[in-house]
Chain A
Amino acid sequence: MSATAATGGFVPGDRGRVGMACLIFTESAFFSIFLVAYLFYIGKSATGPQPAQVLDLPVLATVCLLSSSGTIAVALKSLGSGHIARFLVAWGLTIALGVAFLGFTAQEWQRLITVDGLTLRTNLFGTTFYSLVGFHAAHVLLGVLMMTSVALLALTGRVNSEHAPRVELVGWYWHFVDAVWLAVLTVVYVLGR
Chain B
Amino acid sequence: MSSADLPLHASVEVPPAISWTDRLHGWVATVDHKRLGVLYVASGLVFLLVGGSQASMMRMQLFYAGNDLLSPEVFNRFFTVHGTSMVFFVGMPLVIGIANYLLPLMIGARDMAFPRLNAWGFWMFLFGALLFYFSYVGADGLYGAGTAPDVGWFAYSPLTGKAFSRGNSTDYWVLGILVAGFGSISAAINMIATTLTMRCRGMTLGRMPLFVWMMLVVSWLILVAMGPLTAAQVMLLFDRFLGAHFFDTQAGGDAVLWQHFFWFFGHPEVYILIIPGFAYASEIIPVFSRKVIFGYPVMVAATCAIGLLSLGVWAHHMFVVGLGKGVTSWFVVATMLVGVPTGIKIFNWIGTIYGGKLHFRVPMLFCTAFLFQFLIAGLTGIMLAAAPFDWQLSDSYFVVAHFHYVLIGGLVFTIFAAIYYWFPKVTGRMLSERLGRWHFWLFVVGFQLTFTTMHAQGLLGMPRRIYTYSADRNWEIWNQITTTGVLFQALGIAVFVCAIFHALRRGEPAGDDPWNAWTLEWSTSSPPPEYNFAEEPEVKSRRPLWDLKHPDDPDWRHE
B196 within 8 A of A: yes
Q: Is the beta-carbon distance between B244 and A127 smaller than 8 angstroms?
A: yes
20 A-B contact pairs sorted by A residue (CB < 8 Å) = A1-B201, A1-B202, A3-B201, A6-B200, A6-B202, A6-B203, A19-B113, A19-B114, A19-B192, A19-B193, A25-B224, A26-B189, A26-B226, A29-B228, A30-B228, A33-B264, A34-B235, A41-B254, A123-B245, A123-B251
Of A8-16, A55-63, A91-99, A102-110, the one with at least 4 CB within 8 A of chain B: A8-16
Chain B residues within an 8 Å CB radius of A1: 201-202
Contact-residue bracket for chain A: 35 or more
As a 0/1 sequence over residues 208 to 246 of chain B, the CB contacts with chain A under 8 angstroms (1 = contact) are 000000000000000111111011101100100011111
- From the candidates A10, A31, A127, name the one contacting B196 in the complex (CB within 8 A): A10
- From the candidates B192, B227, B254, name the one contacting A28 in the complex (CB within 8 A): B227
Q: Is the beta-carbon distance between A26 and B198 smaller than 8 angstroms?
A: no
Within residues 167 to 218 of chain B, which ones have a CB less than 8 A from any CB in chain A? 185, 188-190, 192-194, 196-205
Specify the chain A residue showing the minimal Cβ separation from B223. A26
Q: Is the beta-carbon distance between B204 and A6 smaller than 8 angstroms?
A: yes
Provided the pairs A14-B196, A19-B189, A127-B238 are in contact, do residues A121 and B243 lie with their beta carbons within 8 angstroms? yes
Chain B residues within an 8 Å CB radius of A85: none
| Most chain B CB neighbours (cut-off 10 Å) among A23, A29, A31, A120 | A29
B252 within 8 A of A: yes
B340 within 8 A of A: no
Chain B residues within an 8 Å CB radius of A32: 227-228
Within residues 156 to 175 of chain A, which ones have a CB less than 8 A from any CB in chain B? none
Chain A residues within an 8 Å CB radius of B199: 6-7
Please name the 6 residue pairs, one residue from A and one from B, whose CB atoms are nearest each other, closest first. A29-B227, A33-B231, A30-B227, A121-B243, A15-B113, A127-B244
Q: Is the beta-carbon distance between B192 and A30 smaller than 8 angstroms?
A: no
Chain A residues within an 8 Å CB radius of B242: 120-121
| Most chain B CB neighbours (cut-off 10 Å) among A12, A25, A28, A127 | A127
Distance from A137 Cβ to chain B, minimum over Cβ atoms (Å)? 15
Contact-residue bracket for chain B: 35 or more
A46 within 8 A of B: yes
B257 within 8 A of A: yes
Q: How far is the CA of A124 from the CA of B198 in the complex (A)?
A: 47
Q: How far is the CA of A36 from the CA of B257 in the complex (A)?
A: 10
- From the candidates B189, B200, B204, B232, name the one contacting A33 in the complex (CB within 8 A): B232
Chain A residues within an 8 Å CB radius of B202: 1, 6
Provided the pairs A29-B228, A30-B231, A127-B244 are in contact, do residues A15 and B238 lie with their beta carbons within 8 angstroms? no
Distance from A118 Cβ to chain B, minimum over Cβ atoms (Å)? 13
Q: Is the beta-carbon distance between B189 and A22 smaller than 8 angstroms?
A: yes
B261 within 8 A of A: yes
Q: How far is the CA of A42 from the CA of B238 in the complex (A)?
A: 19
Chain B residues within an 8 Å CB radius of A121: 242-245
Q: How far is the CA of A121 from the CA of B244 in the complex (A)?
A: 5
Chain B residues within an 8 Å CB radius of A40: 254, 257
Q: How far is the CA of A114 from the CA of B278 in the complex (A)?
A: 57
B529 within 8 A of A: no
Q: Is the beta-carbon distance between A22 and B232 smaller than 8 angstroms?
A: no
Q: Is the beta-carbon distance between B252 and A15 smaller than 8 angstroms?
A: no
B253 within 8 A of A: yes
Q: How far is the CA of A29 from the CA of B223 in the complex (A)?
A: 8
Chain A residues within an 8 Å CB radius of B200: 6
Q: Is the beta-carbon distance between B227 and A27 smaller than 8 angstroms?
A: yes
Q: Is the beta-carbon distance between A22 and B231 smaller than 8 angstroms?
A: no
Specify the chain A residue showing the minimal Cβ separation from B228. A33
Within residues 127 to 148 of chain B, which ones have a CB less than 8 A from any CB in chain A? none
Chain A residues within an 8 Å CB radius of B251: 46, 123-124
Chain A residues within an 8 Å CB radius of B204: 6, 8
Specify the chain A residue showing the minimal Cβ separation from B264. A33
Chain B residues within an 8 Å CB radius of A127: 238, 244-246, 253
Specify the chain A residue showing the minimal Cβ separation from B112. A15
Specify the chain A residue showing the minimal Cβ separation from B225. A29
Distance from B310 Cβ to chain A, minimum over Cβ atoms (Å)? 14
Within residues 69 to 116 of chain B, which ones have a CB less than 8 A from any CB in chain A? 113-114
Q: How far is the CA of A115 from the CA of B180 in the complex (A)?
A: 41
Distance from B245 Cβ to chain A, minimum over Cβ atoms (Å)? 5
Provided the pairs A22-B223, A127-B244, A127-B245 are in contact, do residues A6 and B201 lie with their beta carbons within 8 angstroms? yes
Q: Is the beta-carbon distance between A14 and B197 smaller than 8 angstroms?
A: yes
Q: Is the beta-carbon distance between A25 and B197 smaller than 8 angstroms?
A: no
Q: How far is the CA of A148 from the CA of B75 in the complex (A)?
A: 53
Chain B residues within an 8 Å CB radius of A131: 234-235, 238, 244, 246
Q: How far is the CA of A37 from the CA of B205 in the complex (A)?
A: 38
Distance from A35 Cβ to chain B, minimum over Cβ atoms (Å)? 10
Q: How far is the CA of A8 from the CA of B197 in the complex (A)?
A: 9
Q: Is the beta-carbon distance between B197 and A18 smaller than 8 angstroms?
A: yes
Q: Is the beta-carbon distance between B245 and A30 smaller than 8 angstroms?
A: no
Q: How far is the CA of A23 from the CA of B261 in the complex (A)?
A: 20
Q: How far is the CA of A40 from the CA of B117 in the complex (A)?
A: 36
